[in-house]
């Protein structure tokens, strides 16, 4: 079953993106490098609850 997750910027802590992931296959928290409109740069975004 896929669940909706929120991605948070590691630099400024703003929650910019939502995504879906299969929690049965991916138990770890998701980390993606995405563009943050607040920082105006590509930063690491981590999954939050």
pLDDT-based confidence at 49, cuts 50/70/90?
A: confident
- Residues 3-13 have pLDDT tens digits of 999 999 999 99
- The span from the CA of 7 to the CA of 31, in Å, is 8
Model pLDDT, residue 32: 95
Model pLDDT, residue 1: 82
Report CA-CA distances (Å) from 42 to 20, 28, 33: 20, 22, 6
Model pLDDT, residue 21: 94
Q: Return the exposure string of 9-26: e unless at least 16 CB atoms fall within 10 Å of the residue's CB, then b.
A: beeeeeebeeeeeeeeee
- Residues 16-44 have pLDDT tens digits of 999 999 989 988 999 999 999 999 999 99
- The span from the CA of 31 to the CA of 8, in Å, is 9
Which domains are seen in the chain, by residue range? 2-48 (2.20.28.120)
């Amino acid at each position: 079953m896929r669940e909706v997750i929120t991605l948070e910027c590691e630099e400024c802590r703003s929650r910019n993106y939502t995504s879906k992931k299969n929690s049965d296959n991916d138990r770890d928290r998701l980390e993606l490098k995405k563009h943050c409109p607040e920082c105006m740069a590509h930063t690491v975004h981590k999954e939050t609850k």
